Structures are given as structure tokens and as C-alpha cells.
Amino acid sequence: MRALNGDLALLVPTMILVVAIIALVIVNYRQLIARYPQGGGASAAVGEAFGDGWSFIPIGALVVDFVLTIAISVSAGSSAAIAYFPALAPWRLLLGLGLVVLVGAATWFGHLGRLVFAAMTVAFIIVSVIVLLSGLGATPQPVGTITGAPGHQPVLAVVLAFPVAMALATGVEAPSSAVAQLGQLDNDGRRRFGQVTLWLTLAIVGTITLGLSLEAAYLQVGIPPEDSTQIAELARLAAPGPVFAAFQLVTALLLLSAASSSFQAGPGLLKALARHTNHEGETVGILPAAVGHTNTHHTPYWGVVLFIVLAGAVTAAAGGNDQELVLFYAVSVFLSFLAGLVSMAFFARKDHQPGFLILNTAGALVVTFTLVANLSRGLPLVSLAAALAIAALLYRAWTKAGRPRGIRNAAAESE
């Protein structure tokens, strides 16, 4: 809405474009899961296509993604709480930093966070549907800032605004790595599970996102007042008081669960890269062994500490404001998307599959445009620089370790 300068009439077309691009990326990632049913995602594809050394680009992007997911999730969780309890507004930053430490500390107790994440996801879907249904009978009432002047011609305004919302696509990469957890299934079972998960992601995210956008347009909910959010104002207007309270609660808990998930995935990735002895008795890995040390709950505790420090620093730099971080978030994710889609286009050309080549190339071009559009805003270049700097450091450590093979599978092994 801010990128559209408050032009509410263009919100729905913008979000339709966002969901369409997510659908295009998902179609491509179904192919990636089919090729790598044992997990690995973009890093596995890049490593096979161009050599293990190139895998560090999507790995570096993943590290930045995990840090930003934690920072944005706790900041957005704080915003959800503040929207319901405005008196908390002066304590936004301290609240965000406290949540970073709290969620990080809870991660030390193992994989319970994944179960909580699943439960909160289901709760959020149920309460969101109730809010959407309640809004059908609500009376439109202009809230926040609404204009009829997006600052550009409508088509251009939508094209310039949609990259801001592409952080919505960040969950697409996860199933391509998470299928590695499904050891009870064979490769065909993991393929089916991963691909169905992607379609469910599109169905759930697309339905709720477009539903909220349509309802915001119908109820006239524009750029929210200070210390509130657009969906909080929508729920406040659309639903009875208890439902609004429940919506804010499940929103905040879902966001904190997402932070918990990254507190597991990020340190897990570092653990996979740490020096250790494999099943053949060989010493492998490129990072200090300490980042791979785990407690009795199999949590790599030094990795958790590192992510607490990094996510806390990012949260503090943004003043606990999630809106300041969203553009940075989309850049790291789309860098990983681009690496994966370029690799799949390489395989399609090598395997003489013109249909897949066209699909992968189209996906890569759309992702490139989105990435460039976000980078053109200036500050998101920091996210790209951080991902490439991490990739360079990991590459240097890899060369010093004698270029051990198999580094492309680190994302799968982290699961």
C-alpha cells in the first residue's frame, strides 16, 4: 500500500500479480523437487550444474534469509501485539529484542518448535477464514490513508509495487530442502509429498492473501495508522471483538513460530558445514567444529547463540520495525530462487527438454526482474552484499579445507 501511495484500487491487481509469480516459481520448484527428492534445493542444483563452489551463493542467501526471517518475524509479532495493545508502542524495540532471545532460548529444547509451528499455522488459517467470512457482512468504513493517485500510471505503479510484496514467496524454497526429513518414504514418496506441499502452499497463501486484499478494498482499509497494521485494522473492522483478539494472538504466535523454525534451520545449516567425522570415518566440513556441537536435545547451541546475536543486531538496526526489513528479506530469497532456476534451465538445455527450458527461463527472467526492482530501491543492496560476502567466506574456508566434495548437499543435511 505504501508503494502504491495509498491507492487502494490497485491493491488487488498488485496482489494477483504477486500470487501469479509465486505460482510460476512453484511450477519450477516442482521440477526441482522431482530432480532432488532427497532434498538440497537450489544449492544442490547449482552444485551439480556449475560445480560445488557455486553452491555457496544460495547457501549464503539462505543464511541471510534465516537471520532476516527471525528479525522480521519477531518485529512483525511485536507489531501484532502493539496493534492490540497500543500502550506497548514505546517498547517496540525492547519487545522485539526480548522475543529474539526468548524464541532462541526455546529452540534449545529441540524440535518442539516445528510442532508448535504446524499448530499455529492451522490456527491462523481457521481464524483468518472466520475473519474473512465475518467481513462479508461488515459495513465499509475508510481506515488509514487512502488516495486515488499512485504516483505513476496504474500499470507502471503495479509493476513498481509488486516486488515489495514478494517476501510472500519466501516459503517456496522450504519444501525442496525439508523433504530430506522424510526418511520413512522412498524417493517417489518424497517427490509426491514435496510437490503436493507446494500446491497446498499456493492454494492456502493465494486464497488468504487475495481474500484479505479483496476485503481490504471492500472495507476501505488503507495504509494503517501509526503503530497498527493493515490486517489488524481489517480484522478490527470485520470481526467481533473476541475474534479480533484471537486473530492478533494467532498472528503473533505464528510469526514467533516462524522465527523458531529459522532458529532450527539456520544453526542446522552451520552444523552441516562444521568439521565432523562422517560414516566412513573421514573428517569433512569447512567450519569450526564448535558450531556443530549439540546438547541433549540435538540443538547446535553455539549456532543458536550466533543467530540470536545476528538477528538481534538486525532487529536493533531496524528499530524493531518489520516494514523496514521486508525489502531486504525478498532480495535474499530471490537470489536463491534465481540460482535454482538458472540451474534448472541449464539441465533442461543439456537434456534437450525445450518445454522445461522455456518454463525455467521464463521463471528466471521474472525472478531477475523482481530482484533488480528491489535492488533499485538502494538499501536492499545490503542484503545482496551480505549474502555474497557470506558465500565468499564459506568458499574461502572450503578451498582451505581442500575443496571437499558434497558441499552442495549441506542444505539437505541440515534438516
Q: In whole angstroms, give the CA distance from residue 296 to residue 294.
A: 7
Element (H, E) at 194: helix 187-219
For the record, the C-alpha cell of 300 comes out as: 547446535
Q: In whole angstroms, give the CA distance from residue 364 to residue 42.
A: 13
* 287 bridge partner residues: 274
Helices (H) then strands (E): counts for the chain: 15, 2
The pTM for the full model equals: 0.92
Instruction: Note whether 56 and 238 are within 8 A (CB).
Output: no
Q: What is the pLDDT along the chain (415 residues), one digit of tens a residue?
A: 888 989 999 999 999 999 999 999 999 999 899 898 888 888 889 999 999 899 999 999 999 999 999 999 999 999 999 999 999 999 999 999 999 999 998 887 766 666 777 888 899 999 999 999 999 989 999 999 998 888 788 888 888 888 888 888 888 888 887 787 777 888 899 899 999 999 999 999 999 999 999 999 999 999 998 889 999 999 999 999 999 999 999 999 989 988 988 898 899 899 989 887 766 666 678 899 888 888 877 788 899 999 999 999 999 999 999 888 887 888 888 999 999 999 999 999 999 999 999 999 999 999 999 899 888 888 889 999 999 999 999 999 999 988 887 788 777 766 5
| Residue-wise DSSP of 59-96 | HHHHHHHHHHHHHHHHHHHHHHHHHH-GGGGGGHHHHH
Residue-wise over 277-316: b if at least 16 C-beta within 10 A, else e?
Answer: eeeeeeebbbbeeebbeeeeeebbbbbbebbbebbbebbe
Backbone angles phi and psi of 40, in degrees to 5: 125, -35
* Residue 335 CA neighbour count, 13 Å, CB half: 30
CA dihedral 208, 212, 213, 214 (to 10 degrees): 100
- Say if residue 343 is exposed, middle or buried (CB neighbours under 10 Å; 0-12, 13-18, 19+): buried
C-alpha separations of 136 from 15, 130, 245, 353 in Å: 20, 10, 19, 47
For the record, the C-alpha cell of 278 comes out as: 562422517
Backbone angles phi and psi of 144, in degrees to 5: 80, -160
- Domains in the chain (CATH in brackets) are 8-413 (1.20.1740.10)
Query: Locate cell 543464511: which residue?
Result: 63
Three-state secondary structure string covering 323-385: HHCHHHHHHHHHHHHHHHHHHHHHHHHHCCCHHHHHHHHHHHHHHHHHHHHHHCCCCCHHHHH
